[in-house]
Each structure stands twice: as structure tokens, then as C-alpha cells.
Amino acid sequence: MKFMLIWRQTEADAWEKLGAIDFDQMLETVGKFNEELINAGVLLAAEGLAPAEEGVVVDFSSEPPVVTDGPYGETKELFNGFYLINVPTIQDAVDWAKRTPLAGPGFKTEIRRVPTIDEFPADNEWIKKERAWREANNQL
């Protein structure tokens, strides 16, 4: 089963609470964790995100939608990056999440299962098109 481990910052000053982190040391720490995931054969994808100040939000509460520059005023939990892993059970995903290197007060890792295309109606026109695309791109 595929699971997404989503890194979230739950407090605005969470990075500051970690203290002065040497960037090279952080890269080494994250790199070692990535290597463990790779060596275990469970890593499918992993990405970090640029700071929220560089992002925008498209809010569909009105017509036309409103685009707002980051940071996102009322947002208390920012999505900072993710891992996509393939493990047999959610407990395995939890075990990996407990080992994520960027952890501490003000951080959370959310775990969400990624449904497979086989869980959708196989006779649906759009699912057929997506399956064809996935097969053509070695995504199945």
C-alpha cells in the first residue's frame, strides 16, 4: 500500500525552536533517513517545499477565486514536504514516520493512504483514460 507522510509545521516558530541548525548537518540527517528508506525499498518519492512566503493560495470562497500571497495569515499548520512510501500496513508507515529526522515541538507528520486506481470504477471513461496514461508511463 502507498502512504504519504506529510511534514507539517504546527507552530509559526517551530523552526526557531529547533535552534540554530547547520544546513549541511540537516542535509546529512535527512539524507541518511532517505538512504534508509531507499535501502529498505519503500521510498517512491520525497520532496520538500519552498517557504510559504513564496507560495500563493487560490481561495474558491468567492467568484472569481481570490489569489493571496503567502504566508497564509490564519493557517496554523503548514505543509512543508512529503514522503511517498510503499509499505504493507499503516503500522509500517507509522514506524517510518516516527523516525523522520525533522521532528520536535511544533512539528507533526500526517499519514494518509494513497488509494490505487483499482479502487475506482474500472468502467468509468475517465478512469480508463487515467489507467492508459499510467500504463504508458510505467505508473502501474
pTM for the model: 0.80
Domains of the chain: 2-136 (3.30.70.1060)
Higher pLDDT, 15 or 128: 128
Q: What does the pLDDT look like over 25-63, one tens digit per residue?
A: 878 988 999 999 999 999 999 998 887 788 888 889 999
Q: Give me the half-sphere count of Cα atoms (radius 13 Å) on the Cβ side of residue 103.
A: 13
Cβ atoms < 10 Å from Cβ of 7: 20
Only one residue has cell 480508463, namely 128
